[in-house]
């Protein structure tokens, strides 16, 4: 089925942001678990699509 180019481009950008935010939160969680930076996770929560719950269960990192 044909999906409009506009929707596909937005999905690619959104997915990239989602992947980056997941990685950012994973790094933040690891840092927090290691006691390196207790505020980093909260910092990562600012902005669109960076809620860590977007990563859980979707990316399995939660």
Residues that bind other proteins (CB under 8 A): 1-4, 7-8, 10-16, 18-19, 22, 48-49, 51, 53-54, 56-60, 62
Nearest approach in angstroms of CB 10 to other proteins is 4
Beta carbon nearer to other proteins, 2 or 46? 2
Please, which residues have CB within 8 angstroms of residue 12's CB and are 6 or more apart in sequence? Answer: none
Beta carbon nearer to other proteins, 4 or 34? 4
State the Cα–Cα distance between residues 30 and 22, nearest whole angstrom. Answer: 12
State the Cα–Cα distance between residues 48 and 5, nearest whole angstrom. Answer: 23
């Amino acid at each position: 089925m044909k999906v409009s180019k506009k929707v596909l481009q937005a999905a690619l950008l959104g997915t990239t942001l989602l992947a980056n935010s997941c990685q950012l939160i994973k790094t933040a969680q690891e840092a927090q678990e290691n006691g390196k930076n207790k505020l980093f996770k909260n910092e990562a929560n600012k902005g669109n699509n960076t809620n860590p719950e977007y990563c859980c269960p979707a990316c399995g990192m939660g």
